[in-house]
Amino acid sequence: MAVETPLRQIRHAAGTGAGQASRLKAAFTRWRVPLCVVALCLLPWILPSKALAVNVLIYGIYAVGYNLLFGYTGLLSFGHAAFFGAGAYVTGIAIAHFGLPWYAAVATGILVAGLLALVIGALSIRTRGIYFSMVTLALSQLVYYTALQASSWTGGENGLRGFTVGRLDLAGLSVDFLDPVNKYYVIMLFAAAALWFVSRILNSPFGAVIEAIRENEVRARACGYDVERTKLIAFVLSGLICGLAGTLSALHLAIVPLDTLHYNTSGLVVMMTLLGGAGSFFGPFVGALVFLLVEDVASLWTSHWQIIVGSMFILCVLFLPKGIWGTFIAWRTGR
């Protein structure tokens, strides 16, 4: 009978631990979309209000779209409010000025946000680092001032008003959209679709390429990948998902404030993504949940709730550099 030496026991334990971590990570990857959907189903019964739960869904989708570009491709954009706002404004204009049904307005909003992402991406993608961030910020502000000047269409400083979607009719089904529970679960269907879409992207060869570009762009180019085209496609896909979040925001609020295009909205999604964990699949939703929950609770105590949120963000950056969810995943998988 062979005697196992202490060194062999340590190697065996390390190998077993690594194998368990690898299996755990594979299980997370395989079941991440169903697990996320189950967690989201419980959200309105846990949070203080249904309206807060709907906001978590909308800004979670927004952060998921942004995370595809920032967390997985490694491009820090300061201009994603342009796509969120474009989706919201186009949806509102399509309903208020052209009388389109809600599903056609949503499709139009997503399409226009994608086209805008194609234009901004084509103009900015060849720059790097802080220059890329500044170019996206400048182009986003250009969209903001265009909306401000086109007041006959957008409402200018007052925002776009005059449209309310009370019922959602599709394929013989009719849903009361003013009911908070119905509204939540309808928007959750879109969130589930967005999560499934992002999961499919990340599991594809294209997902491997964007992560390779994030890790080492020079090496990815040396391997023969068309880095600029890949980054542009990632930029457009990110813009499409952020546009979806904007269209849902318009349906939810029945108004489109000008602030949806402001650079503060771009900064908001950066904070949510970092708070939850950039580059982690469910991190953006966790970031949106924590940010909006703290805002909701702290604003009841003081009008200076930004101090509390800002302090929490600083502590998270200092002590949880992978974000809340990213740190949890790293702890569970031993990495």
**Residues 264-295 pLDDT 10s:** 999 999 999 999 888 888 889 999 999 999 88
Over residues 208-219, mean pLDDT: 91
Cα–Cα distance, 261 to 250 (Å, whole number): 13
Over residues 119-147, mean pLDDT: 92
Element housing 173 (H / E):
strand 173-176
Cα–Cα distance, 43 to 198 (Å, whole number): 21
What range does the domain containing 242 cover? 49-262
Question: Is residue 315's pLDDT more than 90?
Answer: no
User: Is there a domain that residue 102 lies in?
Assistant: yes
Rg (CA), the chain: 21
User: Is there a domain that residue 94 lies in?
Assistant: yes
The structural domain count of the chain equals: 1
Give which of 290, 289, 309 is closest to 299, Cα–Cα: 309
Mark out the alpha helices in 43-179 (DSSP H runs): 50-70, 81-96, 102-124, 129-149, 151-154
The whole-number pLDDT of residue 10 equals 45
Confidence tier at 303 by pLDDT (50, 70, 90)? confident
User: Is there a domain that residue 305 lies in?
Assistant: no
User: Is there a domain that residue 164 lies in?
Assistant: yes
Q: Give the pLDDT confidence of 47-86 residue by residue, as tens digits.
A: 888 899 999 999 999 999 999 999 999 999 999 999 999 9
Residue 327, CA atoms < 13 Å, CB-side half-sphere: 14
User: Is there a domain that residue 36 lies in?
Assistant: no
The whole-number pLDDT of residue 137 equals 94
User: Is there a domain that residue 1 lies in?
Assistant: no
DSSP, collapsed to helix, strand or coil, labels residue 290 as helix
Question: Is residue 322's pLDDT more than 90?
Answer: no
The whole-number pLDDT of residue 190 equals 94
User: Is there a domain that residue 174 lies in?
Assistant: yes
- Which range in 17-21, 98-102, 117-121, 291-295 is most confidently predicted, on average pLDDT? 117-121
User: Is there a domain that residue 228 lies in?
Assistant: yes
